[in-house]
Copies of this chain bind each other. A is one copy, B any other.
Amino acid sequence: MEIMNTISKENYLKTIYQIKKPKSKKVSTAHLAKRLEVSNAATSDMAKKLFDLGLVKYQPYRGVELTAKGEKLALNVIRRHRLWELFLIKTLNLSWSEVHTEAERLEHQASDFLIDRIDEYLDYPDFDPHGDPIPNKNGELPVQPDSVKLTAAEVGKFYFIHRVKNDDIKLLDYLTELGLKLNMQLQVLSRLEFDNSVRVKINNKEHSFSEKIAEKLSLVSADGEKR
Protein backbone atom coordinates (compact mmCIF):
# COMPACT_ATOMS: atom_id res chain seq x y z
CA MET A 1 0.00 0.00 0.00
CA GLU A 2 1.67 3.14 -1.21
CA ILE A 3 1.02 6.42 0.56
CA MET A 4 0.22 8.08 -2.70
CA ASN A 5 -1.31 11.42 -1.84
CA THR A 6 -3.49 13.15 -4.29
CA ILE A 7 -4.88 16.62 -3.83
CA SER A 8 -8.31 15.16 -3.34
CA LYS A 9 -7.19 12.73 -0.63
CA GLU A 10 -5.35 15.50 1.17
CA ASN A 11 -8.49 17.57 1.16
CA TYR A 12 -10.58 14.77 2.58
CA LEU A 13 -8.09 14.14 5.37
CA LYS A 14 -7.79 17.82 6.19
CA THR A 15 -11.54 18.26 6.25
CA ILE A 16 -12.11 15.22 8.46
CA TYR A 17 -9.63 16.72 10.88
CA GLN A 18 -11.34 20.10 10.79
CA ILE A 19 -14.84 18.77 11.27
CA LYS A 20 -14.21 16.26 14.03
CA LYS A 21 -15.16 17.01 17.61
CA PRO A 22 -12.53 16.71 20.36
CA LYS A 23 -14.31 13.75 21.97
CA SER A 24 -16.12 11.69 19.37
CA LYS A 25 -13.76 11.98 16.47
CA LYS A 26 -16.14 10.24 14.11
CA VAL A 27 -17.29 12.23 11.13
CA SER A 28 -20.32 11.28 9.06
CA THR A 29 -19.77 10.91 5.34
CA ALA A 30 -22.72 13.21 4.68
CA HIS A 31 -21.19 15.97 6.75
CA LEU A 32 -17.92 15.55 4.91
CA ALA A 33 -19.69 15.61 1.57
CA LYS A 34 -21.37 18.87 2.42
CA ARG A 35 -18.14 20.55 3.45
CA LEU A 36 -16.29 19.34 0.39
CA GLU A 37 -19.19 20.15 -1.89
CA VAL A 38 -19.34 16.72 -3.45
CA SER A 39 -22.05 14.06 -3.47
CA ASN A 40 -22.46 11.65 -0.58
CA ALA A 41 -21.59 8.87 -2.96
CA ALA A 42 -18.21 10.39 -3.66
CA THR A 43 -17.50 10.57 0.04
CA SER A 44 -18.45 6.96 0.68
CA ASP A 45 -16.21 5.99 -2.18
CA MET A 46 -13.28 7.91 -0.83
CA ALA A 47 -13.89 6.60 2.68
CA LYS A 48 -13.24 3.12 1.36
CA LYS A 49 -10.07 4.20 -0.39
CA LEU A 50 -8.71 5.98 2.64
CA PHE A 51 -9.56 2.95 4.70
CA ASP A 52 -7.61 0.72 2.32
CA LEU A 53 -4.67 3.09 2.71
CA GLY A 54 -4.88 2.83 6.47
CA LEU A 55 -5.64 6.52 6.85
CA VAL A 56 -9.11 6.27 8.40
CA LYS A 57 -11.20 3.83 10.35
CA TYR A 58 -14.38 3.19 8.46
CA GLN A 59 -17.40 0.97 8.74
CA PRO A 60 -20.28 1.56 6.35
CA TYR A 61 -23.04 3.67 7.92
CA ARG A 62 -20.77 4.48 10.87
CA GLY A 63 -18.72 7.41 9.66
CA VAL A 64 -14.97 7.81 9.38
CA GLU A 65 -12.28 8.61 11.90
CA LEU A 66 -8.65 9.42 11.23
CA THR A 67 -6.03 6.88 12.20
CA ALA A 68 -2.75 8.15 13.66
CA LYS A 69 -1.27 7.95 10.17
CA GLY A 70 -4.18 9.82 8.65
CA GLU A 71 -4.08 12.49 11.33
CA LYS A 72 -0.41 13.06 10.75
CA LEU A 73 -1.03 13.64 7.06
CA ALA A 74 -3.97 15.93 7.84
CA LEU A 75 -1.85 17.98 10.20
CA ASN A 76 0.82 18.25 7.56
CA VAL A 77 -1.67 19.73 5.10
CA ILE A 78 -2.86 22.15 7.75
CA ARG A 79 0.73 23.09 8.49
CA ARG A 80 1.34 23.85 4.84
CA HIS A 81 -1.81 25.86 4.60
CA ARG A 82 -1.04 28.06 7.57
CA LEU A 83 2.57 28.58 6.68
CA TRP A 84 1.65 29.61 3.15
CA GLU A 85 -0.88 32.06 4.55
CA LEU A 86 1.55 33.62 6.94
CA PHE A 87 4.25 33.75 4.30
CA LEU A 88 2.12 35.55 1.76
CA ILE A 89 0.76 37.93 4.36
CA LYS A 90 4.23 38.80 5.54
CA THR A 91 5.96 39.16 2.18
CA LEU A 92 3.19 40.60 0.07
CA ASN A 93 1.28 42.44 2.73
CA LEU A 94 -1.99 40.82 1.86
CA SER A 95 -4.99 40.46 4.13
CA TRP A 96 -6.07 37.16 5.54
CA SER A 97 -9.15 36.88 3.38
CA GLU A 98 -7.13 37.55 0.25
CA VAL A 99 -4.68 34.87 1.12
CA HIS A 100 -6.95 32.11 2.32
CA THR A 101 -8.14 30.78 -1.02
CA GLU A 102 -4.63 30.92 -2.45
CA ALA A 103 -3.36 28.80 0.41
CA GLU A 104 -6.17 26.37 -0.27
CA ARG A 105 -4.48 25.51 -3.54
CA LEU A 106 -0.86 26.03 -2.59
CA GLU A 107 -1.08 23.73 0.43
CA HIS A 108 -0.95 20.75 -1.93
CA GLN A 109 1.94 21.90 -4.00
CA ALA A 110 5.17 22.87 -2.33
CA SER A 111 7.78 20.27 -1.45
CA ASP A 112 8.66 19.58 2.18
CA PHE A 113 11.91 21.35 1.51
CA LEU A 114 10.17 24.55 0.49
CA ILE A 115 7.75 24.42 3.38
CA ASP A 116 10.65 24.06 5.79
CA ARG A 117 12.38 27.08 4.24
CA ILE A 118 9.18 29.07 4.66
CA ASP A 119 8.91 27.87 8.24
CA GLU A 120 12.47 29.00 8.84
CA TYR A 121 11.83 32.36 7.16
CA LEU A 122 8.90 32.92 9.51
CA ASP A 123 11.01 31.82 12.46
CA TYR A 124 8.98 28.70 13.24
CA PRO A 125 5.68 30.29 14.21
CA ASP A 126 3.38 28.44 16.60
CA PHE A 127 0.20 30.22 15.62
CA ASP A 128 -1.26 31.73 12.50
CA PRO A 129 -2.99 35.14 12.37
CA HIS A 130 -6.21 33.57 13.65
CA GLY A 131 -4.45 32.11 16.64
CA ASP A 132 -4.82 28.67 15.10
CA PRO A 133 -1.95 26.38 16.02
CA ILE A 134 0.58 25.42 13.36
CA PRO A 135 1.81 21.83 13.61
CA ASN A 136 5.58 21.50 13.44
CA LYS A 137 7.30 19.30 10.88
CA ASN A 138 6.77 16.28 13.07
CA GLY A 139 3.05 16.87 13.16
CA GLU A 140 3.04 18.06 16.77
CA LEU A 141 0.80 20.89 17.86
CA PRO A 142 2.02 23.62 20.20
CA VAL A 143 0.59 23.46 23.75
CA GLN A 144 -2.59 25.42 24.05
CA PRO A 145 -4.01 27.13 27.13
CA ASP A 146 -7.59 26.61 28.23
CA SER A 147 -9.88 29.08 26.58
CA VAL A 148 -13.48 30.26 26.67
CA LYS A 149 -15.59 31.82 23.98
CA LEU A 150 -16.48 35.45 24.43
CA THR A 151 -20.11 34.29 24.60
CA ALA A 152 -19.25 32.41 27.80
CA ALA A 153 -16.77 34.84 29.33
CA GLU A 154 -17.51 36.29 32.76
CA VAL A 155 -18.65 39.88 32.88
CA GLY A 156 -16.08 42.07 34.64
CA LYS A 157 -13.15 39.76 34.07
CA PHE A 158 -10.01 40.33 32.01
CA TYR A 159 -8.92 38.10 29.15
CA PHE A 160 -6.49 37.92 26.28
CA ILE A 161 -7.74 37.48 22.74
CA HIS A 162 -6.53 34.05 21.89
CA ARG A 163 -8.11 32.88 18.70
CA VAL A 164 -10.44 34.03 15.93
CA LYS A 165 -12.34 31.17 14.40
CA ASN A 166 -11.76 31.08 10.69
CA ASP A 167 -15.05 30.36 9.07
CA ASP A 168 -15.92 31.90 5.79
CA ILE A 169 -16.70 35.38 7.05
CA LYS A 170 -14.02 38.03 6.89
CA LEU A 171 -13.94 38.41 10.61
CA LEU A 172 -10.22 38.67 11.08
CA ASP A 173 -9.96 41.44 8.50
CA TYR A 174 -12.76 43.29 10.29
CA LEU A 175 -11.09 42.98 13.68
CA THR A 176 -7.81 44.11 12.19
CA GLU A 177 -9.56 47.17 10.86
CA LEU A 178 -10.82 47.91 14.37
CA GLY A 179 -7.20 47.77 15.51
CA LEU A 180 -7.54 44.51 17.36
CA LYS A 181 -4.85 41.87 17.39
CA LEU A 182 -4.26 38.52 18.98
CA ASN A 183 -3.01 38.58 22.56
CA MET A 184 -4.46 41.99 23.27
CA GLN A 185 -6.08 42.29 26.68
CA LEU A 186 -9.79 42.88 26.98
CA GLN A 187 -12.34 43.38 29.73
CA VAL A 188 -15.86 42.06 29.40
CA LEU A 189 -18.14 44.97 30.35
CA SER A 190 -21.61 43.57 29.88
CA ARG A 191 -23.75 41.08 28.07
CA LEU A 192 -27.16 42.01 26.70
CA GLU A 193 -29.70 39.30 27.50
CA PHE A 194 -31.88 40.39 24.64
CA ASP A 195 -29.54 39.36 21.82
CA ASN A 196 -26.52 38.02 23.69
CA SER A 197 -24.31 40.78 22.31
CA VAL A 198 -21.28 41.65 24.42
CA ARG A 199 -19.64 44.96 25.27
CA VAL A 200 -15.90 44.86 25.88
CA LYS A 201 -13.15 47.34 26.55
CA ILE A 202 -9.87 47.02 24.65
CA ASN A 203 -7.12 49.61 24.89
CA ASN A 204 -9.53 51.91 26.69
CA LYS A 205 -11.87 51.78 23.75
CA GLU A 206 -15.27 50.17 23.92
CA HIS A 207 -16.59 47.77 21.33
CA SER A 208 -19.81 45.85 20.99
CA PHE A 209 -19.90 42.44 19.36
CA SER A 210 -22.97 40.50 18.27
CA GLU A 211 -23.43 36.96 19.47
CA LYS A 212 -22.40 35.73 16.05
CA ILE A 213 -19.02 37.38 16.39
CA ALA A 214 -18.60 36.70 20.11
CA GLU A 215 -18.95 33.02 19.36
CA LYS A 216 -15.92 33.11 17.11
CA LEU A 217 -13.62 34.72 19.67
CA SER A 218 -11.67 32.52 22.03
CA LEU A 219 -10.21 34.10 25.14
CA VAL A 220 -7.69 33.11 27.76
CA SER A 221 -8.12 34.33 31.31
CA ALA A 222 -5.79 37.20 32.16
CA ASP A 223 -6.07 37.29 35.94
CA GLY A 224 -3.49 35.05 37.48
CA GLU A 225 -3.64 31.33 36.99
CA LYS A 226 -6.45 29.90 34.96
CA ARG A 227 -8.03 26.92 36.54
Which residues on A are within 8 Å of B, measured CB to CB?
A: 87-88, 91-92, 94, 98, 101-102, 105-106, 109-111, 113-114, 117-118, 121
A64→B87 CA distance, assembly (Å) = 40
Residues A111 and B102 in contact, CB atoms below 8 Å apart: yes
Q: Give the oligomeric copy count.
A: 2
Q: Name which residue of chain B comes closest to A94, CB basis.
A: B117
- Taking a contact as CB atoms under 8 Å apart, the answer to whether A105 and B94 are in contact is no
Q: Are B110 and A98 in contact (CB under 8 A)?
A: no
- Bound form: Cα–Cα A12–B27 in Å: 40
User: Do most interface residues of chain A lie in helix, strand or loop, or is the interface mixed?
Assistant: helix
CB pair A121 B105 closer than 8 Å: no
Given B88, B110, B114, B121, which contacts A114 in the complex, CB threshold below 8 Å? B88
Question: Complex: how many Å from CA A91 to CA B94?
Answer: 15
A102: B residues at CB distance < 8 A:
109-111, 114
Residues of chain B lying within 8 A (CB to CB) of residue A114: 88, 92, 102
CB < 8 Å: which of B91, B101, B110 contacts A106?
Answer: B110
- In the bound complex, do residue B88 and residue A121 qualify as a contact, i.e. CB atoms below 8 Å apart? no
Which B residue's beta carbon lies closest to that of A92? B117
Closest partner residue, chain B, to A108 (CB atom): B109
Which residues of B are found within 8 Å of A94, using beta-carbon distances? 117
A109 touches B111 (CB 8 A): no
Could you tell me the distance between the alpha carbons of A101 and B109 in the complex, rounded to whole angstroms?
A: 11
What is the distance, in angstroms, from A210's C-beta to the closest C-beta of chain B?
30
In whole angstroms, how far apart are the Cα atoms of A171 and B105 in the complex? 31
Q: A87-B91, A92-B114, A106-B106 are in contact. List 14 more A-B contacts (CB 8 A).
A: A91-B91, A92-B118, A94-B117, A98-B113, A101-B111, A102-B109, A102-B110, A102-B111, A102-B114, A105-B109, A105-B110, A106-B109, A106-B110, A109-B109
Measured in the bound complex, the distance between the Cα atoms of B109 and A94 in whole Å is 17
Taken together as a complex, chains A and B put the C-alpha atoms of A160 and B59 apart, in Å, by 68
Complex CA–CA separation, A110 to B88 (angstroms): 11
With the chains together, A106 CA to B92 CA distance in Å? 16
Bound together, the chains give a CA A98 to CA B112 distance in angstroms of 12
